[in-house]
């Protein structure tokens, strides 16, 4: 399907890969996807591998992402990483508000919105994650939850900034579980997110925002998911840890 939004497929490596393993993986990905022009490709290694992976990606078609950043600039914030520090390694994207951070670090929509603003202030493109839990879906409140997360996590962004923001819809019950949302379930929520973006911004702006799906994306389901009209890419966890499967997801999406 030809869409006017370019697909963006990102690999979230989470807390995996030593520097040596990260280099192996990124070199494999580079080889596998060297000829791909139709998709924006992003890898998000752990902070400790950013420098090495950044060097490995020089002159390639794969861009670098980080998995988190501070809402603050440099200063007395022990254990945190500022956007300006990510920029040193040519990081272009930063994943914000992943459900694991919402769950384990208790990140709120308000905090994520501050991080998104800080990312834009340093010309980093945030990938802002939203998603409902299984009990929320079964309780029939998916749209209520997603609407609140989208409005809260993107609060305060300008039209120019939202166009440079990626929204990732990641149903919590589908992350790392092997359970994928059906392509229709994904499309329904993506269309709903776009409707919320129309209300927050305007129709033309909302039409330019890319919305990724995440949750057990693999080579076998990528084509059908990416074929949905409002699905503009994927945020991939487990299947991004192996060059061939990540590349196959990309190839099957074109």
> Is residue 120 among the annotated active site residues?
no
DSSP string, 47-101: GGGHHHHHHHTTTSSEEEEES---SS-SSS-TT---HHHHHTTT--EEEES-HHH
236 near ligand PEP (CB under 6 A):
yes
As measured in angstroms, the least distance from the Cβ of 242 to ligand PEP is 12
153 near ligand PEP (CB under 6 A):
no
> Is residue 170 among the annotated active site residues?
yes
Residue 13's nearest CA partner among 58, 79, 64 is 64
46 near ligand PEP (CB under 6 A):
no
As a whole number of angstroms, the distance between CA 6 and CA 9 comes to: 10
Residue nearest to ligand PEP as judged by C-beta position: 237
Size of the site for ligand PEP (CB under 6 A): 13
As measured in angstroms, the least distance from the Cβ of 240 to ligand PEP is 7
DSSP string, 179-246: ----HHHHHHHHHHHHHHHHHHS-HHHHHH-EEEEESS--HHHHHHHHTSTT--EEEESGGGSSHHHH
Scanning 52-60, 152-160, 197-205, 235-243 for contacts with ligand PEP by CB under 6 A, the matching segment is 235-243
From 98, 100, 107, 120, the catalytic residue: 98
216 near ligand PEP (CB under 6 A):
yes
217 near ligand PEP (CB under 6 A):
yes
User: Applying CB under 6 A, which residues contact ligand PEP?
Assistant: 12, 170, 175-176, 214-217, 235-239
Catalytic residues: 98, 170
């Amino acid at each position: 399907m030809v869409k006017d939004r370019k697909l963006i497929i990102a690999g979230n490596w989470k807390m995996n890969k030593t520097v040596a393993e990260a280099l192996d993986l990124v070199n494999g990905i580079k080889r596998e996807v060297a000829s791909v022009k139709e998709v924006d490709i992003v890898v998000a290694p752990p902070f400790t591998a950013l420098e090495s992976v950044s060097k490995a990606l020089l002159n390639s078609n794969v861009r670098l992402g980080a998995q988190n950043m501070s809402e603050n600039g440099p200063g007395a914030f022990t254990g945190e990483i500022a956007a300006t520090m990510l920029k040193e390694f040519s990081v272009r994207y930063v994943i914000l508000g992943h459900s694991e951070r919402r769950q384990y670090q208790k990140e709120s929509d308000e905090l994520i919105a501050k991080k998104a603003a800080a990312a834009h202030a340093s010309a980093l493109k945030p990938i802002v994650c939203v998603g409902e839990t299984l009990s929320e879906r079964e309780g029939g409140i998916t749209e209520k939850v997603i609407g609140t997360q989208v409005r809260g996590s993107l609060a305060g962004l300008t039209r120019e900034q939202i166009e440079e923001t990626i929204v990732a819809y990641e149903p919590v019950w589908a992350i790392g579980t092997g359970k994928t949302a059906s392509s229709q379930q994904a499309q329904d929520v993506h269309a709903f997110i776009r409707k919320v973006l129309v209300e927050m911004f305007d129709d033309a702006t909302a039409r330019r925002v890319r919305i990724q799906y995440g949750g057990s994306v693999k080579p076998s389901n990528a084509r059908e998911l990416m074929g949905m009209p409002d699905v503009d890419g994927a945020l991939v966890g487990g299947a991004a840890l192996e060059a061939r499967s990540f590349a196959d997801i990309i190839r099957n999406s074109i």
